[in-house]
Amino acid sequence: METRSAKRKRLLMGEKKLMRDDQSGCDRISDLPDAVLHQILFLLPIKCIAQTSVLSKRWRHIWSTFPDLDFTSTNLIDTSSSMKNSHSHIHPNTSKRFDSDSVLGTDYITQVLALRSKQSYLRTLRFRGRLSFTRLNSLIRCAVRHHVQELDIEVATHDYFNFPRSIIGCDSLRILKLKSRYPGFRLPPSSLLMGGFRTLHTLSLSLVILHDYDQSSLLDFFSDSSFPHLSKLSLDACSGLRHLNIRCKALKELVLEKCYQLISFEIFGEKLERLRVASCFDAYSSKSLVKIDAPHLRIIHWQYNSITDNSSIDTLTCLLEAFIGFFVIHEVINKEKLWSVSNLLSAVSHAHSLVLENQCIEILSNNSQISGVLQNPLNSLKYLEFRTGFNKSSIPGIACLFKNSPSLHSLTIKIVNDYKTERRQWTRDLWDLSSSMEERYWESQIQLLKSFLHHLKVVKIHGFSECENEVSLAKFLLRHGKVLEEMILCSGHCNSRDSLRLEKVKSQMMGFSRASSNAKITYY
């Protein structure tokens, strides 16, 4: 057993050895394992990593085996036509290619990949720039030969290019992100796509052209047979896409954006947790539909989409957050589209947080073809935010929301200033009157809003412009909000004249009666 004196002597000898190593200039960093050095270098730009290759043979090995090649910090164009023959063989001193901030040619990436040993794997390859399809295809084939796991490419080409077929059968690929800046890329025939991508976990495609090969329909492509492990999928700007059916059991996150020609969209995801669909669907189609079967969905963002003629969405009982908005063409809103909106709002009735765009309030207020667009009460809702022009016609829709939110704690109203909207300014005369028409309406709703008024604690109104509708609602909530704690009024920018009127309204509102002794008014 080691005695205390022996241990003290051993530690002292160790300290002296460290001092000798430091004084002799011993390179302790180079003694670290490759994996540790790779992790340290991962935090640096690719230029700095390449420059380390001049330090020693050890560091040249580190550079040639570095698994994460991220060229996105450089400016990449295709310079193959101007590259001289003397550059066909890369010099071991690779940092010389980064001595200036000149544009980096794709030949350099090819040469970097050629330096790598067959045993070294490529975990990540990222680059973006302008290059030809031939050069792009060559780079991807080279990456596939090095068993690339993550491929992140953003390119612009002189013409449409075909999806690189070498990717389809790559059994090492886990993450694929392919974005075309301009003009886009074509997918190969479905017969070649089916059965590929079996190892992918993440797929992101942007600016896809589907006009050729009669590919307006992707009904059978996104299925377990082709994507058994796919957990994240993003499709952006898919031109010509009209029918999309997704059935991937492992899928957890889906983003679908700018598919303006989409007619039908069906998603069946047992594990789907996040769904974002924005700027999609053909607004003039009479047969558009959406079907969502996602029992574990937790977040849904449905933004600026045209209203479909039919929607079949199971109630999302696990939903926490919902953002709902539409791109509305008034002349084509019919009863079927209104019912489609109703089904969507009913499906999100279990959300804890709900944000509604201005068009939703218009639909709730101005359409009498169906009574009660909200078929299910929002019993779980704690936070509600909506945007509105706040004219007289929008008040019924706002009241409908309040009636169906019996347990709401926090309310945020963002008033959209529209020059077409006529709104009456609040005056002292209105305050002196026993009640205005708007106030009488709100007072008539007290019994229906009883639960709402007994739970509401915080109210925020952005764009508060001291108009009659806004002040009447604020006055009503102050008078009947039993547990109201704070009302925050944000007026935004105003000139000196508006500022004077605001000060007058502030002084009047401070005299409004309050049901809660804790309620305070804050102005911004």
More confident of the two residues 471 and 203: 203
Q: Provide the whole-model pTM.
A: 0.82
Give the mean pLDDT of 494-513: 67
**What is the distance between the terminal CA atoms of the chain, rounded to a whole angstrom?**
73
Q: 142 phi and psi, to 5 degrees?
A: -65, -40
More confident of the two residues 240 and 31: 240
Cα angle 300, 470, 523 (rounded to 5 degrees) comes to 90
165: Cβ contacts below 8 Å, ≥ 6 apart = 188, 192
Amino acid 49: pLDDT: 84
3: Cβ contacts below 8 Å, ≥ 6 apart = none
Instruction: Give the largest Cα separation in the chain, rounded.
Output: 96
Return the exposure string of 5-37: e unless at least 16 CB atoms fall within 10 Å of the residue's CB, then b: eeeeeeeeeeeeeeeeeeeeeeeeeeeeeeeeb
Q: What type of residue sits at position 351?
A: A
Please report whether residue 191 resides in a domain.
Answer: no
Mean pLDDT is lowest, of 10-24, 371-385, 491-505, 510-524, for 10-24
Please report whether residue 80 resides in a domain.
Answer: no
pLDDT digits (tens, 9 = 90+) for 394-448: 888 899 899 999 999 999 999 987 655 555 555 544 444 445 788 888 999 999 9
Residue 250 has pLDDT above 90, yes or no: yes
pLDDT digits (tens, 9 = 90+) for 167-199: 988 999 999 999 998 788 888 877 777 777 889
Alpha-carbon distances, residue 138 vs 76, 132, 133, 144, 440 (angstroms):
15, 10, 8, 10, 73
Residue 90 has pLDDT above 60, yes or no: no
Give the mean pLDDT of 449-459: 96
Q: What is the pLDDT confidence band of residue 160, given thresholds at 50, 70 and 90? A: confident
Please report whether residue 436 resides in a domain.
Answer: yes
**Whole-number average pLDDT of the chain:** 81
Q: What is the pLDDT confidence band of residue 105, given thresholds at 50, 70 and 90? A: low
* Both structure tokens of 524: 């911004």
Please report whether residue 154 resides in a domain.
Answer: no
Return the beta strands (E) in 224-297 as ranges: 232-239, 243-247, 253-257, 264-268, 274-278, 289-293
Give the mean pLDDT of 220-227: 86
Residue 269 has pLDDT above 90, yes or no: yes
Please report whether residue 132 resides in a domain.
Answer: no
Please report whether residue 484 resides in a domain.
Answer: yes
Residue 163 has pLDDT above 60, yes or no: yes
Tell me, what CATH number does 438's domain have? 3.80.10
Please report whether residue 503 resides in a domain.
Answer: yes
Domain count, the chain: 1
Q: What is the pLDDT confidence band of residue 85, given thresholds at 50, 70 and 90? A: very low
The residues that bridge with 156 in the sheet, in sequence order, are 130, 182
Give the mean pLDDT of 263-271: 94
Give the mean pLDDT of 334-343: 84
* Both structure tokens of 412: 């945020």
Amino acid 10: pLDDT: 66
Amino acid 244: pLDDT: 93
Please report whether residue 480 resides in a domain.
Answer: yes
Total Cβ atoms within 10 A of residue 134: 12
Amino acid 53: pLDDT: 81
Residue 370 has pLDDT above 80, yes or no: no
Structural domain including 414 reads 377-524
More confident of the two residues 123 and 508: 123
